[in-house]
A and B are shown apart, each in its own frame.
Chain A
Amino acid sequence: MYKYTPHIWLCLVVMFVQIFLLDNIDLGASISIWVRPMIFPLIVLLLPVEWRSIWVLLVTYVVALLMDLLLGGSGIYVITLLPIALFRSALLFLTTRRSMDSTDQSQLLARMPLGQLMVYVATSLLLYHTLFFVMETLSLANFFSLLMTIILSTLCSLLISWPIVRLFTSKVY
């Protein structure tokens, strides 16, 4: 349990920042339409790599359910976060070009070159934001504005997430 204390802290801090800061920050109506940063997928992305898929899926479900309850998502956070948990291994494999079945996985995130780590986080966030905004609008009628929202929100989320990722991977692993 002690081993996972940093992860629990990460979860609490990220959820706190997301709920009380990012979701309440007032950037003005014209900016809020385009930029809606979401950093809580980091909780899933930074879960121990050696964990079995079933634990990753269940923890993600609990986190997403909490987000739904606290932000009134009515299920949208579960719908969009579970695929990230399911494809996390594949994303890591594609980014690092190494099998996730190898025994030496515990330090994988810390040993990853910064470029690969950046690609892993950015791709995952992009995937998450795409799923989220498509599910939210349920329409491709305003495709280009949807695309702009996805890109700008992903970039903003990445900017906020990156210091947290660096801090976490350097201190914890």
Chain B
Amino acid sequence: MHRLLEFIKRIYVVLLFLLLECIAIWQYATSSPYTEAKILSRTTAVGGYISKKITNVDHFFSLSGENELLNRRIAELEQTLERERELLADYAEASWQRKMAEEEDLHYRYYPARVASMTISHQRNYIVLDKGERDGIKKNMGVITPDKNLVGYIIYSSDRYSVAMPVLNTEFTMGASLSMTNYTCSLRWSGSSPYHVDIVDVSTYAQPEVGMAVEAWSERLPKGVIVGHIESFEHNAAQTAYSARLKLAADMSALDNVLIVENTHYGEIESLMDNLEGQSTPNGATK
């Protein structure tokens, strides 16, 4: 209080000046319609400008929260979309009401997550996500960006965190298919560029084109997840298949918000495959 009084004592001349100026400006502003309109428009413009700047700063600090909300909303919408798709597909066999009641029967569930840490400069890169087992995250769930581009899949989960193997890992394997066709191939990363991956064993009947989209083809992920677009392609040495270089659809160097995708039927498929392997059948390789 003492300091405040000292401060006021030091600047009282300026304060008095401001007070007298304000009174005079008010008197001048109300003296004629012209000055009233002019000064009012100026003060409104200045006030609006300051208010806009303050709003911008507020908005900047609330962006993180808004981003999280949007991501959660995307997950909800994806889930709703998936439910709608399944309802449409099964409409002939089951009634809408029964399907709506069987929430747990959803084929794919989406969980929003954020990247806690990641590397892209090594041969074996990993992504740590801020969601773990207590959020329902399990091994073998797919990881995609909010705009449905492939990132990788979960290989390990703890209570609060999970680790995903991204496509930028030389041990990463997954099936892929040329978009709008049924031709499948294998996806791998050579370890050279963090913006490119390769597909191999593309059938010679397929007609790859530069710019053609390539989708992930895996039980971990729903249809329509884009891996990337063909940048160049060539026949292999034996002229029996194509191999192609893709530009990754997801920018792995700027990854922040992601969606973790759970195929609720994955356990069933896995146990089926395990049974097949138990019977020593040679066709047990998973995609």
Contact = CB atoms under 8 A, between A and B. Distances in A.
Given A75-B31, A138-B42, A82 B13 contact: no
Given A138-B38, A138-B39, A57 B17 contact: yes
A79 B13 contact: no
- Give the interface centre of A54, A57, A74 by most chain B CB atoms within 10 Å: A74
Contacts, number: 50
A85 B28 CA distance: 19
A79 B12 contact: no
A89 to B, nearest CB: 10
Given A82-B20, A82-B21, A75 B12 contact: no
A151 interface: no
A75 B13 CA distance: 20
Contacts of B42: 138
22 contacts: A53-B13, A54-B12, A54-B16, A74-B27, A74-B32, A74-B35, A75-B24, A75-B28, A75-B31, A76-B24, A76-B28, A78-B20, A78-B23, A79-B24, A79-B25, A82-B20, A82-B24, A83-B17, A83-B21, A86-B14, A138-B38, A138-B42
A2 to B, nearest CB: 27
B254 to A, nearest CB: 45
Contacts of B28: 74-76, 79, 135
B24 A78 contact: yes
Interface of A: 53-54, 57, 61, 64, 74-76, 78-79, 82-83, 85-86, 135, 138-139
Contacts of B12: 54
- Give the interface centre of A75, A86, A135 by most chain B CB atoms within 10 Å: A75
Contacts of A74: 27-28, 31-32, 35
Contacts of B31: 74-75
Interface string B1-28: 0000000000011101100110111111
A74 B27 CA distance: 6
Interface of B: 12-14, 16-17, 20-21, 23-28, 31-32, 34-35, 38-39, 42
A126 B42 CA distance: 24
Given A57-B13, A83-B21, A138-B34, 16 more contacts: A57-B20, A64-B24, A74-B32, A75-B23, A75-B24, A76-B28, A78-B23, A78-B24, A78-B27, A79-B28, A82-B20, A82-B21, A85-B17, A138-B35, A138-B38, A139-B38
Contact of A57 (B16, B27, B34): B16
A76 B13 CA distance: 20
Contact of B27 (A75, A85, A138): A75
A57 B35 CA distance: 25
Contacts of B26: 75
Contact of B13 (A54, A83, A138): A54
A139 B39 CA distance: 10
B30 to A, nearest CB: 8
B38 A79 contact: no
B8 to A, nearest CB: 13
Contacts of B39: 138
B38 to A, nearest CB: 4
Contacts of A76: 24, 28
A54 B12 CA distance: 9
A74 B17 CA distance: 18
Contacts of A85: 17
A54 to B, nearest CB: 5
B285 to A, nearest CB: 78
Nearest to B35: A138
A83 B17 CA distance: 8
Contacts of A82: 17, 20-21, 24
A75 B20 CA distance: 10
A79 B39 CA distance: 13
Given A138-B39, A138-B42, A139-B38, A75 B16 contact: no
